[in-house]
Amino acid sequence: DWILHNDEFIREEELNISKEDRGYQFGDGIYEVIRVYEGNLFTAEEHIDRFYESAEKIKVIIPYTKDVFHKLMYDLVEMNEIENGQVYVQLTRGAYTRQHQFPSDTAPVLIAYPKKLERPLELMETGVHAKFIEDIRWLRCDIKSLNLLGNILAKQEAYEAGCFEAILHRGEVVTEGSSSNMYGLKNGVLYTHPASNLILNGITRRVILNLCADLGIEVQELAFTKTQALEMDEFFMSSTTTEVMPIVQIDGQQIGEGVPGELTRKLQEAFEANLK
Ligand code: PDD
């Protein structure tokens, strides 16, 4: 497999990352996951824009234009002959003798590599179970940071409880999933947390909100509580890898009819039609 290292394509065996890379020592970096459908990068521009925004927020300068970056991603997919899969790309502040403050003369380190991946069609059909977990993350969840301890601890706890995803909440308020956004539907209206510093504004989320406009589904970007979540008619999550994923049970309590809801299904169909 070919890996992108800065602006060079190399083989995995040739990859050499410093023990003092700040991504490794501090989680001092950012990342993106971009979906590949039929050899095409899905919503690549949106992911690239968000990557550059995250970089700016942590004060790292990406040493390529967005066009060059796009071309590198495209070549990576082509060279590895990926039909259906994803590209993982991360950028760290680079390597320097360990110190907390930014070093003055490091060069950022970019790594990107693809992976084959099928769509989770079976789970999309049956729906999944989720578990409420207190959101203990920092207050800049809008940055797609490599610091994911709050996320992975929550996901692990959900997994150990036999659940597919953690539904994070700050006090009573539902924010998002450990690696996804969360939505409830009540009386035909879709509710989801506003795109503030408390969530990552998912690219899939943006696609879904556009699809709602097309389908005439009213959207309220309003935070809702755990209690309100349990009383929704339908509930689902979204991310680059899970698309529109129905949630049919939360903390062992059935949501709606306990099967993927009608509007959730409609959104799944519209999402799929949008891929072509
Ligand atoms: N996760 N919220 C969080 C905390 C996330 O980590 C993600 C994505 C999302 C959904 O964003 P998008 O629709 O742009 O994928 C929301 C990726 C897929 C991951 O970490 O693997």
**What pLDDT shows up at residue 54?**
98
108 lies in the same domain as 130: no
Give the E-state strand segments of the chain in sequence order. 2-5, 8-11, 29-37, 40-41, 85-92, 109-116, 128-134, 165-170, 173-177, 181-186, 189-192, 218-220, 234-239, 243-250, 253-254
188 lies in the same domain as 66: no
73 lies in the same domain as 151: no
The Cα 13–Cα 6 span in angstroms is 16
Q: Final residue of a domain: which of 90, 116, 142?
A: 116
User: Per residue in 192-248, pLDDT tens?
Assistant: 999 999 999 999 999 999 999 999 999 999 999 999 999 999 999 999 999 999 999
- Per DSSP, the residues of 137-149 read --S-TTS-BS--H
**What pLDDT shows up at residue 121?**
98
Write the CATH number for 129. 3.20.10.10
The Cα 188–Cα 230 span in angstroms is 16
**What pLDDT shows up at residue 188?**
98
Q: The whole model's pTM is what?
A: 0.98
Atom of ligand 1 nearest to the CA of 207: 13
The Cα 246–Cα 203 span in angstroms is 18
Token representation of residue 275: 């891929």
Q: Final residue of a domain: which of 116, 148, 174?
A: 116
Write the CATH number for 20. 3.30.470.10
The one-character DSSP state at 233 is S
State yes or no: is 71 an active-site residue.
no
41 lies in the same domain as 152: no
Tell me which residue has its CA closest to atom 8 in ligand 1: 179
214 closest CA partner among 175, 265, 170, 266 = 266
Tell me which residue has its CA closest to atom 4 in ligand 1: 179
243 lies in the same domain as 259: yes
Q: Looking at this predicted complex, what is its ipTM?
A: 0.98
22 lies in the same domain as 95: yes
User: Per residue in 67-104, pLDDT tens?
Assistant: 999 999 999 999 999 999 999 999 999 999 999 999 98
240 Cβ inside 6 Å of ligand 1: yes
Cα-to-centroid distance, 104 and ligand 1 (Å): 31
129 lies in the same domain as 266: yes
252 lies in the same domain as 166: yes
**What pLDDT shows up at residue 276?**
74
Bridge partners of 35?
Answer: 86
**What pLDDT shows up at residue 8?**
96
Across the range 101-119, mean pLDDT stands at 94
201 Cβ inside 6 Å of ligand 1: no
138 lies in the same domain as 243: yes
Cα-to-centroid distance, 110 and ligand 1 (Å): 19
**What pLDDT shows up at residue 130?**
99
User: Per residue in 10-46, pLDDT tens?
Assistant: 999 999 999 999 999 999 999 999 999 999 999 999 9
102 lies in the same domain as 161: no
Q: Which domain holds residue 222?
A: 121-274
73 lies in the same domain as 190: no
Q: Final residue of a domain: which of 99, 116, 133?
A: 116
User: Per residue in 127-138, pLDDT tens?
Assistant: 999 999 999 999
The tally of domains found in the chain comes to 2
257 pLDDT band (50/70/90 cuts)? very high
179 Cβ inside 6 Å of ligand 1: yes
**What pLDDT shows up at residue 163?**
98
**What pLDDT shows up at residue 225?**
98
Q: One of 144, 155, 226, 276 is an active-site residue; which one?
A: 144
106 pLDDT band (50/70/90 cuts)? confident
248 lies in the same domain as 192: yes
Residues 261, 185 contacting (CB under 8 angstroms): yes
